[in-house]
Amino acid sequence: MYEHLKRYGVSKNIIEAMNKIDRKYFVPENVKDLAYDDIPLPIGFGQTISAPHMVGIMCKELDLKEKDKVLEIGTGSGYNAAVMSLLVGKSGHIYTIERIKQLYKIATKRFKQFGLTNITCILGDGKEGFEEYAPFDKIVVTCYSKFVPNKLLEQLSDNGILLIPVGDEFVQVLKKIKKINGQISEEDLLHVKFVPLV
């Protein structure tokens, strides 16, 4: 279903994971007929589920591996966390934070339905990260920020990768930040459109 993602450099194992997690179960009833289109969709509460190509690109740029401990800021529908959970395997773990209680409850229910036991969903403020389980091998932020929160940099492990859209409501760039021997490097990947980190 997602073979077209190869043109974005998305690997076979990411495409397989996306095919295993059926997107139609992560969108509201009123947009289910659009579930397989490569577009973002509204999920209520002013939030969206990312387009499949964006999920694929972010998984690719995170370079997810077995055993990775991942922090996601902005659970939303739970789709992105579900896909990542397959890529890190049973020995890895996804910690995902959602500030909207209704979305948190819906996502938690979906994870149980899919039998995804390597995901911990937290109701809270993503800007603070999740210090209790830091450091993280990978951190992904699924909403834009005007700057990179220091708390997230502090909670990134050495040789870790942080993906975050940075900008404003008009222009956002997906940044890939690496921490190597305590030194931070930044790379601008592409222009994106996300909801704000609040």
Q: What are the pLDDT digits (tens) for 138-195?
A: 999 999 999 999 999 999 999 999 999 999 988 999 999 999 998 999 999 989 988 7
3-192 is classed CATH 3.40.50.150: yes
Catalytic residue among 50, 77, 85, 145: 50
This prediction has a pTM of 0.94
Burial of 107 (0-12, 13-18, 19+ CB in 10 A): buried
* Segments making up each domain of the chain, as ranges: 3-192
Residues 25-77 have pLDDT tens digits of 999 999 999 999 999 999 999 999 999 999 999 999 999 999 999 999 999 99
Q: How far is CA 20 from its chain centroid?
A: 17
Residues 76-102 have pLDDT tens digits of 999 999 999 999 999 999 999 999 999
Write down the pLDDT at residue 184: 93
Residues 1-25 have pLDDT tens digits of 778 888 889 999 999 999 999 999 9
Q: Which residue has the higher pLDDT, 170 or 103?
A: 103
185 an active-site residue? no
* Mean pLDDT, residues 103-129: 95
Q: Count Cβ atoms below 10 Å from residue 15 Cβ, excluding itself.
A: 19
Q: How far is CA 123 from its chain centroid?
A: 16
Write down the pLDDT at residue 198: 67
Q: How far is CA 149 from CA 19, 56, 60, 154, 166, in A?
A: 33, 24, 23, 9, 10
Q: Count Cβ atoms below 10 Å from residue 20 Cβ, excluding itself.
A: 11
Write down the pLDDT at residue 182: 86
